[in-house]
């Protein structure tokens, strides 16, 4: 399978614990996006990388959230001191920034986080 | 700021009926892209269509059709002769043409097709 993969698919944690999610983009895709989707809502942009550089962060990304893409390939999203309000589906997408005017984003299956 | 509104939270129809999902957007950009995605119960977002703001030609793909009207800032989606497999949550989204090209999604419309 050469699509975007995310791990784990489901995570249940207790409030106050730290969690880390991983996203493996489509090979050769230089852009990677993180979105968050809460129940009954559409996905909301969190942050994106061009290669290893984090170029934009949403105001939704509080200080407890940190994302990395150390070698320009896979990315991790860490949430420290989780709160019940962090319960959501975390979606990763990747795209290839090329010469075309639009670069389609391909989404992974998501990681569903439940904070008890 | 960009915004997408899907006023219909839930729609329920009987199989074989036609159904239209509404989408209204706001943007100050002159060039932008519009999208529709399908999210089945499995949760993965499935891309359906992308439209450039300069291309107002309607599009038909099988039972699916899209009506883009720049004058009313709308991008509506119609399913003809609906089937049970069409049951899902459908999202309309908007993207800037340049820069981050991050997607701004609407709240989604849950479509249920009853046999």
pLDDT at position A99: 63
Mean local confidence (pLDDT), B74-80:
97
B107 CB within 8 Å of a chain A CB: yes
Q: Does B93 touch chain A (CB under 8 A)?
A: yes
CA–CA separation, A59 and B66 (whole Å): 33
The answer to whether A42 faces chain B, any CB pair under 8 Å, is yes
* pLDDT higher than threshold 90 for residue B88: yes
DSSP B37-89: EEE-TT---EEEEEEETT----EEETTEEEEEEGGGTEEEEEESS--GGG-EE
pLDDT tens profile A40-98: 999 999 999 999 999 999 998 899 999 999 988 999 999 999 999 999 999 999 998 87
Please provide residue B26's backbone torsions phi and psi, each rounded to the nearest 5 degrees. Answer: -130, 135
Tell me the three state secondary structure of residue B33.
Answer: strand
Would you state the pLDDT for residue B40?
Answer: 92
Distance from CA of B73 to the nearest CA of A (A): 19
Give the pLDDT band (50/70/90) at residue A101: low
Q: Cα–Cα–Cα angle for B108, B21, B24, nearest 5°?
A: 75
Among all residues of chain B, which has the CA nearest to that of A102? B97
> A19-23, A99-103, B9-13, B39-43: which has the minimum mean pLDDT?
A99-103
CB half-sphere exposure, A57, CA atoms < 13 A: 12
C-alpha distance across the termini of chain A, in Å: 33
Q: Are B50 and A107 inside 8 Å of each other by CB?
A: no
Cβ atoms B102, A36 nearer than 8 A: no
pLDDT of residue B12: 97
pLDDT reported for residue A104: 85
State residue A102's pLDDT score.
73
pLDDT at A7: 97
Residue B60: its pLDDT value, please?
A: 87
Q: What are phi and psi of A104, to 5 degrees?
A: -65, 140
How far does A76 lie from chain B, in Å, by closest CA? 19
Residue B12 near residue B18, CB atoms below 8 Å:
no
* pLDDT score for A57: 93
Q: Which residue of B has its CA nearest to A108?
A: B44
B54 contacts chain A (CB < 8 A) = no
Q: Single out the residue of A41, A39, A40, A29 nearest to residue A92, CA to CA.
A: A29
């Amino acid at each position: 399978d050469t699509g975007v993969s995310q791990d784990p698919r489901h995570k249940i944690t207790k409030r106050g614990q730290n969690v880390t999610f991983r996203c493996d983009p489509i090979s050769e895709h230089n852009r990677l996006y993180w979105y968050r989707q809460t129940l009954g809502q559409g996905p909301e942009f969190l942050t994106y990388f061009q290669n290893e550089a984090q170029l934009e962060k949403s105001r939704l990304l509080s200080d407890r959230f940190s994302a990395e893409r150390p070698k320009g390939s896979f990315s991790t999203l860490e949430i420290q001191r989780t709160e019940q309000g962090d319960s959501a589906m975390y979606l990763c997408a990747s795209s290839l920034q090329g010469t075309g005017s639009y670069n389609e984003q391909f989404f992974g299956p998501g990681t569903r986080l439940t904070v008890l | 700021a960009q915004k997408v509104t899907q006023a219909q939270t839930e729609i329920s129809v009987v199989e074989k009926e036609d159904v239209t999902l509404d989408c209204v957007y706001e943007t100050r950009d002159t060039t932008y892209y519009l999208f529709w995605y399908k999210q089945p119960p499995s949760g993965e977002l499935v891309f359906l269509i992308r439209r450039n703001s300069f291309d107002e030609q309607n599009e038909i793909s099988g039972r699916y059709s899209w009506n883009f009207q720049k004058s009313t800032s709308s991008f509506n989606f119609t399913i003809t002769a609906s089937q049970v497999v069409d049951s899902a949550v459908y999202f309309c989204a908007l993207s800037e043409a340049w820069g981050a090209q991050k997607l701004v999604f609407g709240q989604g419309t849950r479509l249920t097709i009853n046999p």
